[in-house]
Amino acid sequence: MTHDPVLCLASASPRRRDLLSSIGVTVEVRPVDIDETPRPSESAADYVVRLAREKALAGARLTRLPTLGSDTAVVRDGEILGKPASRDHAASMLGSLSGRGHEVLTGVAVSGPAGVLTACVTTRVFMRELTTAELAAYWATGEPADKAGGYAIQGLAAVFVEHIEGSHSAVVGLPLFETADLLARQGVPLWHEA
């Protein structure tokens, strides 16, 4: 049985759609295109919250439903790591994460009757030492090409992660605990029944 959407998701991310579905939220998907360039001296937390907010507001113009926007950044030593531009860039990026911890910040914003509500979640991710051969083989899978930081924790790169401190779902793309709170405050039901 399909349910009418109760939320607009301003993202094409199948991971975010699946995470929302896992908590019973049926979405209308309306991807938006915004400039994702970090501003000079903008902190990673401010950056992901700003983008989440801009996405939610842009999506809200396309629907009457409450609208969720989200953005995730991988941060190493204060530097935001984007998506790799090439195999060498991916190898360099992942090599810099090898054998150490880094932060993954996810901002989420929900536009609705209560205005625009936001949250930011930081999770520490610790990777084991990675070999050059592993990095080359991982790149060959195609998975890292469009991923912030050059890896997907929910995918093949799961074997690289020794442990995390914080929210696994936030690293995948949407912190479910915090998102559920924002949705409740906007009147969006979880475990939606027809």
Residue 102 CB coordination number (10 Å): 18
Query: Per the structure block, which two tokens stand in for 167?
Result: 């929210």
pLDDT band at 192 (very low <50, low <70, confident <90, very high): low
| CATH code where residue 115 lies | 3.90.950.10
In the predicted model, what is the mean pLDDT of residues 111-115? 97
- 7-11, 102-106, 144-148, 150-154: which range is least confident on average? 144-148
For residue 90, being part of any structural domain is answered with yes
**Domains contained in the chain, number:** 1
For residue 192, being part of any structural domain is answered with no
pLDDT at 194: 46
For residue 181, being part of any structural domain is answered with yes
Q: Which residues form the catalytic set?
A: 71
**Burial bucket for residue 37 (CB in 10 Å: 0-12, 13-18, 19+):** exposed
For residue 40, the enclosing domain spans 7-185
Asked whether 76 and 127 are in contact (CB, 8 A), the reply is no
Task: Examine the pLDDT at 2 and tell me if it is beyond 70.
Answer: no
pLDDT band at 146 (very low <50, low <70, confident <90, very high): confident
Task: Examine the pLDDT at 43 and tell me if it is beyond 70.
Answer: yes
For residue 190, being part of any structural domain is answered with no
For residue 57, being part of any structural domain is answered with yes
For residue 1, being part of any structural domain is answered with no
pLDDT at 191: 83
- pTM for this one? 0.92
Instruction: Please calculate the CA angle 149-151-153 and round it to the nearest 5 degrees.
Output: 120
Asked whether 126 and 98 are in contact (CB, 8 A), the reply is no
For residue 194, being part of any structural domain is answered with no
